[in-house]
Structure 1
């Protein structure tokens, strides 16, 4: 058996957009949709070369010893093989041992694709691949608005379509959930409306869609916009969002307001004293001015009571959270 290449040799971490076949491929990172895209690109490239490609799937968590070597063994007609391994971050000990042996000396005419979503399990295998025994394509989460805009723009370019800048921003704002959902919306727009997408097209297609998340609800409540906060909260409930993270976001905002109550000084000094970014400190101080000290103290007590109600103290946690939300939005009055 060949000797493993030194783990001091570091392979570059390439973008998922560059995914292509190699004897051993590592697709890493938490963004499952992008990982699926990378895996599909590798399969398509192999299939284009040889229509008789054999494709095998392995679940690393339930793997049994020897399975990898059996699938990689040459067949009677010498068809090329693609072996896709999912859940490497949950792999069995048997898989870890077999895979470490395999990547040092991969089989001919075989592409092994390892999908690792994150975590420390399987680190020894990842280090071996990254040390020069494979190639790696990274699928990081797409969180920042600018990154989501860039992703959507690339999707339209991939589909041979153009979208107006304002329409692009509207679309990304409307689909602030999973990146797969955003990609689906891009594809649907092109399928339904063609290759020139305008703001009017997006507005009609989204029909005023509002994506609710915990901090949008908290922002509306702490700003005193009671009706808007209540609507957003109920929209969140209708989509299955759990009350606990909603409460956590609201409490996070209220703790900042409590710290900022009565604070004075320059923006930079306030931010330092409060342990916040300057814009957060400015917002917290502004919001705190709308509160009376006794009402803010009552709010802190109600926050603790609401947490208890949401964690089993009430049969109607949604009502308990609504009550607390309205107390915050009305500044205790």
Structure 2
């Protein structure tokens, strides 16, 4: 247990600003850390555009830290004939070679004038000495944290921000449908947001999302789970079979059931405003509202049996059972009966 505490202390002791991807700003050195590649790429583009707004003559150079040749960084950072500002973007720092590590540490001691060095590190211990130096303030940098958006609430916040920045209203139900349709790829979710804004006018409603992504939404794992939790067995079974026939994987199907049932168990029995409950449980307010609606018609014993069935089905679809499809159909039947006999 000592190692995590030490790591936490080191991060807490960082003397440079740590900002979210959309708060990136010019600095002599910028460490873009974290596993979410899409957000890192978005931050890099945002920085490039901001620097070009300051000076249109900006020179942009790209390096790979794992294929770095000695002298490249110093050569690119050397003053140019006409004094154009430079942006040097370094990718692959999580697998950096020794030459880059050594020369980057040297560069931090005396960063070049009119030069921004952006280093992308997706995670791991490689180059820890360099990361520690940047975080301790050597070079006068900032850190842009691109954490993975694992929770539905995080992805919903991301999508909501896309529409908010474009001043395009979107109905809460439409936002939920859109996020549930693109659970696997943040880039796809961002692309869907941009397409809806480019192809439509006015408020974005649930009907708008259904028009563009109806097929995907209808066969989504969460749509199957929603129908089953509401007790609509025939609809849930039909959606499930259509989803499986079009290539859906039983594993994320079961995961969707488990996620929603666990959320219902967390919310069940709570009192108070949605925002207050959401804060205490680490959820978004709309998730609390949805779970409370989903709990109508359920009792504690039935919910417990449904959660147990989801765990057993998860094992079955991951190799413990002979027929994954039959296992998921059985789970649909159990959940549709709210944990009791159908």
TM-score by length of 1: 0.68
In the alignment, does 2:39 pair up with 1:34?
A: yes
Partner of residue 81 from structure 2, selected from 68, 76, 85: 76
SS at match of 2:62: strand
Give the CA deviation at 1:145: 4.0
In the alignment, does 2:290 pair up with 1:286?
A: no
SS at match of 2:82: coil
- Structure 1 alignment gaps of length 5 or more: 1-6, 257-266, 269-278, 291-295, 315-319
Partner of residue 97 from structure 1, selected from 102, 108, 114: 102
Residues 69 and 239 from structure 1, CA distance in 2 versus in 1: closer, same or farther, beyond 3 angstroms? farther
Give the CA deviation at 1:34: 1.9
Aligned runs of 1:55-66 on 2, under 5 Å?
55-66=60-71
**Matched residue, 1:169:** 173
Deviates more, 1:177-186 or 1:85-94: 177-186
Give the CA deviation at 1:17: 1.7
Give the CA deviation at 1:328: 3.7
SS at match of 1:27: strand
Q: Distance in 2 between matches of 1:170 and 1:253?
A: 18
Residues 232 and 97 from structure 1, CA distance in 2 versus in 1: closer, same or farther, beyond 3 angstroms? farther
Q: Distance in 2 between matches of 1:212 and 1:162?
A: 27
Question: Is contact 1:52–1:79 with CA below 8 Å preserved after alignment?
Answer: yes
**RMSD (Å) for aligned C-alpha atoms:** 4.1
Partner of residue 157 from structure 1, selected from 140, 156, 164: 164
Q: Distance in 2 between matches of 1:226 and 1:78?
A: 69
Q: Distance in 2 between matches of 1:141 and 1:70?
A: 34
Give the CA deviation at 1:242: 4.5
SS at match of 2:217: coil
Q: Distance in 2 between matches of 1:172 and 1:249?
A: 14
**Matched residue, 2:186:** 179
In the alignment, does 2:329 pair up with 1:322?
A: no
Larger radius of gyration between Structure 1 and Structure 2: 1
Residues 326 and 204 from structure 1, CA distance in 2 versus in 1: closer, same or farther, beyond 3 angstroms? closer
Q: Distance in 2 between matches of 1:325 and 1:179?
A: 27
Q: Distance in 2 between matches of 1:46 and 1:329?
A: 53
Instruction: Give CA deviations for 1:210-229 in whole Å, capped at 9, x if unaligned.
Output: 17666766776798865555
Q: Distance in 1 between matches of 2:95 and 2:218?
A: 32
Q: Distance in 2 between matches of 1:153 and 1:123?
A: 35
Give the CA deviation at 1:84: 0.7
Aligned runs of 1:1-333 on 2, under 5 Å?
10-133=15-138, 134-159=141-166, 161-164=167-170, 166=171, 168-176=172-180, 177=182, 178-194=185-201, 196-199=202-205, 200-207=207-214, 209-210=216-217, 227-234=234-241, 237=244, 242-244=249-251, 246=253, 285-287=301-303, 307-308=318-319, 320-330=323-333
Question: Is contact 1:174–1:209 with CA below 8 Å preserved after alignment?
Answer: no
Count matched residues. Answer: 290
Q: Distance in 1 between matches of 2:318 and 2:301?
A: 25
TM-score by length of 2: 0.67
Residues 174 and 153 from structure 1, CA distance in 2 versus in 1: closer, same or farther, beyond 3 angstroms? closer
**Matched residue, 1:275:** none
